[in-house]
Chains A and B, each alone.
Chain A
Amino acid sequence: MKLLTGNDLKTGAVTWWTGNDWSIHVEDAVDVTGQEDEIAQREEAARRVNVPYAIDAEMHDGSPRPAHIKDRVRALGPTVRPDLTLKPADPEIGQWVI
């Protein structure tokens, strides 16, 4: 599967395409296979996202998990600052990323 991701124009926050909007939570992301260019072009023109691009992913325990470690770090935040990640209380976070 493919996920569409980018950064919020104003805040720079990492965002994921949910099918009709952008979310900061990767678990909200949907498969955009075959539609990624069209959605990216439309959403960037609407200034709802900055430099969107598609990445490879797979389903993992019912949620999408980016295929590459860089995108997984990007999805949650720096592994060395659990206080700043999106799931600071999740004990499995390290395994999900690494």
Chain B
Amino acid sequence: MYAYDQYDQQMVDARVAEFRDQARRRLEGKLSEDQFKPLRLMNGLYLQLHAYMLRVAIPYGTLSGAQMHTLADIAEKYDRGYGHFTTRQNIQYNWIKLEDAADILADLAKVEMHAIQTSGNCIRNISSDHFAGAAADEVTDPRPYAELLRQWSSFHPEFSYLPRKFKIAVIASEQDRAAMRLHDIGINIVRNSDGELGAAFYVGGGMGRTPMIAPQIRDFVPLDQLVTYAEACLRVYNRYGRRDNKYKARIKILVHELGAEEYTRQVEEEFQHLLDSGVEPPFAELERIRTFFADPAYDEAAPDDIDRSDPDFALWVDRNTVAHKQDGYVSAVISLKPVGGIPGDATAEQMRVMADLATRYSFDELRVMHTQNVVLPHVRKADLNAIWTALDEAGLGSPNLDTIEDIIACPGLDYCSLANARSIPVAQKIAQRFAETKKTATLGQLKLKISGCINACGHHHAGHIGILGVDRKGVENYQLSLGGSEAEDVSLAKITGPGFDEDGIVDAVETVTSVYEREREGEERFLDTYRRIGMGPFKEALYG
């Protein structure tokens, strides 16, 4: 894992001191809310439906055991005993007091964490593949590049007041586990025909009210020009992105309106201009960062066999572990989706269990998934039973990765001031329905995603089944959509037709899964069947 150097630590400590002074002045009435709001937002402190909400950055989703312990301590000491892992690999606390906020930031700084740039029109936390460094299919670990971009984008003076917020994802495999093409910039580290590593750039993707899939604008940027090319992409956006209308201010609108070809031409022109300007950090800095992400000291003799005599354990192994590049190891996914639970929520005690398991069994590393689960990335197969036993005792042993119970849901109207409808109760009812009918297993991979408003934090556009909560004259209503994917086969879901009430949407989901069961051929996933037969049979079943 990356460890702060003196500059990182000084910057974060200085920001804590600065915010402590700003909060004090606000509490003393020396700053108005209008003056204070942009300052608190720069430090991830929102005012939400019930209280202040603090969003803490987890760079590319990577955490140490000590960091997870601190997140647990904060939940217990300053909040109400739990936190919520988000769809951008961060964590949010829902019940923060302004008078405690600076102390929380100080506690975070002690374990090299912060909440900087988790709000505002700046470059947000860089996200990545949650199996980075462990995945059997990656060409390299993408995290050093994500870290380089984190350093470049932190406090970048030119990009602190962009037209709108800006999200970057970095992956390094053909399989996309980070929704890369639904980001403002998606970067895929690839190898060219000469065996050299470089970066493919995809620009102008996003969800929200105008979902778009990012087009590729460059298939190979040499790694010693990575930051310069990113800077060129941002410069064109910063210059020409719309500031007159927040709904048209994201880079996807600029790329769409200019056309990918013209946007690319402008970026390339800017890139040539920047090449000699010294924007790129010395390559030695990337090499220095890379040393922090070296492989851990694997047990080369780790056995490959797993005792599957316990059927519950065997089911969890089948569903929640993923192939690792090292023989004898897997990545184990800890589900934060118990049936009837709140997707992404974990109590302080559960966080401590995960932290201790990481320290004992996974080289002290955890990853937060954008699907609101947590990963132990490097686990010996021989240790899986002990891990599963501990997880199960803590209510973290649900065997449901990528099933219809593994639902992404934003906080919705239960917590979020932007939301129009509740997401969590719908997720709970759907998971309960399929657990009761025992159809979860027969449906296989089925990604269901729910958002409580058009901002799409619940990624409903990218769900095999997507649900969007809307406000219909003060009553919650839910639109159903089908056929989305955030993976390498990326696509945007299409709305089926008129929406449903809270109970009706649960029935509607069951209806479309029944169509899938009737129509599927062989090992087809729900998404494959939808793509083959189209919307017609589903609409017919839903609306007659």
Contacts and interface: CB of A to CB of B under 8 A. Distances in A.
B47 A7 contact: yes
A60 to B, nearest CB: 15
B44 to A, nearest CB: 14
26 contacts: A7-B47, A9-B27, A9-B98, A10-B97, A10-B99, A11-B98, A11-B99, A12-B51, A12-B52, A12-B97, A12-B98, A13-B50, A47-B27, A50-B33, A68-B474, A69-B413, A70-B417, A73-B49, A78-B414, A78-B415, A79-B422, A79-B425, A80-B342, A80-B414, A81-B414, A84-B80
Contacts of A81: 342, 414
Given A12-B47, A12-B96, A73-B49, A80 B425 contact: yes
Contacts of A47: 27, 29
Given A11-B98, A12-B98, A67 B424 contact: no
Contact of A70 (B49, B52, B424): B49
Interface of B: 26-27, 29, 33, 47, 49-52, 80, 95-99, 342, 413-415, 417, 419, 422, 424-425, 428, 474-476
A70 B48 CA distance: 12
Nearest to B423: A80
Contacts of A14: 49-51
A59 interface: no
Interface of A: 7, 9-14, 44, 47, 50-51, 67-70, 73-74, 77-81, 84
A51 B95 CA distance: 17
A69 B417 CA distance: 12
Contacts of B425: 79-80
Q: Is the interface of B mostly helix, strand, loop or mixed?
A: mixed
B364 to A, nearest CB: 32
A69 B476 contact: yes
A67 B473 CA distance: 11
A79 B97 CA distance: 21
6 closest Cβ pairs, A-B complex: A12-B51, A78-B414, A12-B52, A80-B424, A11-B97, A10-B99
Q: Which of A11, A14, A67, A80 has the most CB of B within 10 A?
A: A80
B479 to A, nearest CB: 17
A77 B50 contact: yes
Given A12-B47, A12-B95, 7 more contacts: A11-B97, A14-B49, A47-B29, A68-B474, A77-B50, A78-B424, A80-B422
A40 to B, nearest CB: 12
Contacts of B96: 12
Nearest to A78: B414
Contacts of A78: 50, 414-415, 424
Nearest to B82: A81
Q: Which of A44, A67, A78 has the most CB of B within 10 A?
A: A78
B262 to A, nearest CB: 42
Contacts of A73: 49, 413-414, 422
A13 B100 CA distance: 13
A95 to B, nearest CB: 13
B501 to A, nearest CB: 11
Contact of B51 (A11, A67, A69, A80): A11
A49 to B, nearest CB: 10
Nearest to A74: B49
A73 to B, nearest CB: 6
Nearest to B476: A69
Nearest to A71: B49
Nearest to A50: B33
Contacts of A50: 33, 47
Q: Which of B50, B415, B422, B428 has the most CB of A within 10 A?
A: B50
B52 A79 contact: no
Nearest to A7: B47
Nearest to A77: B50
A8 to B, nearest CB: 9
B414 A67 contact: no
A22 to B, nearest CB: 15
Contacts of A13: 50-51
A74 B88 CA distance: 25
Contacts of B475: 69
Contacts of B51: 7, 11-14
A70 B97 CA distance: 21
B47 A51 contact: yes
Contacts of A7: 47, 51-52
Contacts of B29: 47
A47 B424 CA distance: 34
Nearest to B421: A69
Contacts of B97: 10-12
B33 A74 contact: no
Contacts of B47: 7, 12, 50-51
